[in-house]
Structure 1
Amino acid sequence: MQSWVQLQFVTNSADRGHRGFRIQYRIVSEAAIKEPLSIVGESMFTGCGGHSKLGQLSGEILSPGYPTTYPKNSTCNWLIRVEAQQRIYIRIVHLHLAPTIAECERASLTIIDGYKHESSDNTRKDTSETSQAKFCGSQLYYSEEGMKSYLSSANRIVVRLATQDGPAFSMIGEERIGFKIIWTAVEGLIGESVNPERSERAEEASCEGQFLCHGGQVCVEQVHGICASRSRLCIHNSLVCDGIYNCVEGDFSDEQHCYSKEIITSAACGFSLIVLMMLVLVCCDQLRKRRRLRILIKERRALENGKNGSRTFAPYSWFQPKQ
């Protein structure tokens, strides 16, 4: 289930009692390999399993029944697949499956990196190079930064929830039960290159046109200088200011200046509105002054016409000759 396969046949002696082997193979596209089958133990639950859409860059996965409960005797598989040159960053926002970390049999969350198909035949062993991370109990057991996240080695991940029983009685009434995951398609990871000839500046140049997370440092004991650098993810520009933290745990640079942008936009709109209102008031005042000026001119002309008429057209009795 990879892009290439090498078969090696080794013998140490000839034995005519065995016929040898015959293998059949088939080349399929990656899109044809679906997620493993999901099984829900309780029919009233929905949202058990699924897969990402073509071209999707980020998404959210919730356990069935979140945030109040989850089903028992269930196996839910979610397939996340991105472009071939991309990788997948998983961040667990919330995790509460059992009261203690020792209760993995009750419920567990597993992130499977690569291709893995399980068989009912227990004699068959999976020898593929597949790495995985398993989470049990509550997020309180993963308090250190970076413990609730995972970066894939390739472009395919399966998120699996396996339960044998429902939430414990002591968990009833909890604010949130189950899990919530945010995943992000990563264009690259700065500072990961094992080639010493390739500088970090050259790696940053490879992220040109995309958004480069700031990363920063996380210090366990700042007094003694025990610090480590956060990973710097290169993500798509469309994920910036989308309301979701897509950088690594503790790095909020992709959503850091979004509020200030909103303030600038609001201030610009407010200033434009004030200027527009002032222009309207000035125009109204000019119109009012012009109207008053026209009225005054009419009144003056009417007054002048009245005076001229009284001088020219006197009463007729004034001009009668005396007899």
Structure 2
Amino acid sequence: MFRLNSLHAAMTPEAAASDLGITAERARKLLASARQRLRSHRRQLLQAGGQTVEPTPVTSVNARFAVALAELGAVCNDPELLQRAQKVLRFLRQSHYTGDGGLMRIAPTSTRRGIPARGIDYATLLDALFRVYRHDLDPRHLVWAARLGREVLGNHSDTEGLLLEVPGKDRILTVPLYDPAMIVGNSAWGIIYGPLQRLHQLTGAEEFETARAAVAARLLEAFERNPLIHTDFGIASQAAQRDTLVCLDGPRDDPEFARLHRVVREPQFAGITVVHLDPVLSQALDLPGPGSVTRAIVRRGGEQTTTAATAGELRTLLEAPRPE
């Protein structure tokens, strides 16, 4: 079912059954079995990799799990999976994050001190917040993402912070495995590239653009030599319309708003940044306040280009060839 579905387009069990030539009940059972196997395989991988502590998965693993749930929910047209992704992010916000101590890799308990987050935790969580937001438009995701973005720039963009990314046994090597000009450790450069780009679009803060450009300068040549090593960076840096911001305006219970939202959730538009204009976000980010008309405002390269009142207009606008 997933192969036929290309892992993206929403498909009901009934549609899958029709395509596969089986009954709908059989399709439901196969899908339930696949979910069970995925959960079992995830537990085995966590245990084999030592990624649990008493037995809590680290932040980066939870963040990746949230992304998998959200994308699988979109594939299967299953709101329950999206709700589970939201639950994972809510757990991380409540248990792995404190206003004074910041993000933790392992949450503190009554018998254990928390472990500070590494760059990979920030990178994967930022990626998860943007990818889940694309589906649920919960403004808390973007507010938290902006806070985490500034936090990671403050904590992991100098030599002392970068050394936290390097195993102790490697710090005495003649050739250092870190670069003081970069943000976070090299294992997270490709993952954090896309979130940095989106944070700059939403906040206008040049610090995010500076960090993004530093990642690009370091990885672009390496990606061209061997794309398979830097797939996260390649996907984010080569994505179509990666400089496009679509601001959805209007009440969420409006049927036309739902159709506009459905367009930007389509897989071919995964490279664009989506935001629902909201009073909370207009205060926290560099965004206008909500209007009184349901529409989509499209910005390219930081400039407003045009608006679309219907889903058809928005799709036509996004699919139109870019001017030279």
Higher RCO (C-alpha 8 Å, min separation 6): 1
Name the larger-Rg structure.
1
Larger relative helix fraction: 2
**TM-score by structure 1 length?**
0.24
Larger relative strand fraction: 1
